[in-house]
């Protein structure tokens, strides 16, 4: 294989490595954005369970820090790759030395990719913990709503019972009031009759 073919092959390899690094960084950014969006959408749902949420958020922030460190390592690896390409362009007359620098740069790139994969694994673990925390929160919310519904049913039943009791008491009061009025009317009629008889008797005795 000629030197030119080796350089072409090296350039293709480096471009593939750079493209793969950019794709990994873009995917990591998308995952971070998706994680932040999920955190914002669910803040109100599990505000009363702040402790679990803070623990999950701490794990997420730790994963994001690891991801940032991995991104820094990737940028350093890309910097090494650019430096290697510069040395390759400057040392076309020294093909063997350039290939040695290129192999060293590829080794650094592989190490950076390994660290990136490790950071992605930590991020996935953090996402798993966050999903578990959300599932626990949803379960607690469902249980709270069920208890609230049961309490509302009991309050409605007690309200209905109290309404029935008050209706009965009102009916009894009206009956007693009606009986009192009738009794009073009878006594008043008797009293009026007695007064009329008394007046009539006096009128007959004193013409």
160-187: pLDDT as tens digits: 888 888 888 888 888 888 888 888 888 8
What's the CA gap between 92 and 155, in Å, rounded? 88
- Per residue in 65-88, pLDDT (tens digit) is 888 888 888 888 888 878 877 776
What's the pLDDT band for 188 if we cut at 50, 70, 90?
confident
In percent, the amount of the chain with pLDDT more than 70 equals: 89
Burial class (CB in 10 A: 0-12, 13-18, 19+), 20: middle
Q: Per the structure block, which two tokens stand in for 99?
A: 């290939």
DSSP symbols for 106-174: HHHHHHHHHHHHHHHHHHHHHHHHHHHHHHHHHHHHHHHHHHHHHHHHHHHHHHHHHHHHHHHHHHHHH
Residue 112 near residue 73, CB atoms below 8 Å: yes
In percent, the amount of the chain with pLDDT more than 90 equals: 0
- Per residue in 3-31, pLDDT (tens digit) is 777 777 888 888 888 888 888 888 888 88
Quote the pLDDT of residue 206: 54
User: From the centroid of its chain, how far is CA 171?
Assistant: 53
Q: Name the average pLDDT for the chain.
A: 80
């Amino acid at each position: 294989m000629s030197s030119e073919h080796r350089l072409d092959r090296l350039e293709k390899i480096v471009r593939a490595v750079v493209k793969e690094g950019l794709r990994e960084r873009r995917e990591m950014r998308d995952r971070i954005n998706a994680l932040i969006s999920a955190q914002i959408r669910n803040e109100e749902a599990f505000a009363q369970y702040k402790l679990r949420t803070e623990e999950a958020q701490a794990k997420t922030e730790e994963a994001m820090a690891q991801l940032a460190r991995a991104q820094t390592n990737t940028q350093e690896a890309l910097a090494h790759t650019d430096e290697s390409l510069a040395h390759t362009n400057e040392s076309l007359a020294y093909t063997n030395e350039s290939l040695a620098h290129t192999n060293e740069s590829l080794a650094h790139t592989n190490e950076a990719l390994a660290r990136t994969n490790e950071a992605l694994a930590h991020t996935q673990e953090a996402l798993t913990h966050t999903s578990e925390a959300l599932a626990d929160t949803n379960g607690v919310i469902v249980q709270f709503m069920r208890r609230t519904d049961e309490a509302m049913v009991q309050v409605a039943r007690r309200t209905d019972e109290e309404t029935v009791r008050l209706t009965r008491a009102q009916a009894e009061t009206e009956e007693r009031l009606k009986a009192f009025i009738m009794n009073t009317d009878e006594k008043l009629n008797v009293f009026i009759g007695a007064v009329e008889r008394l007046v009539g008797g006096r009128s007959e005795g004193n013409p």
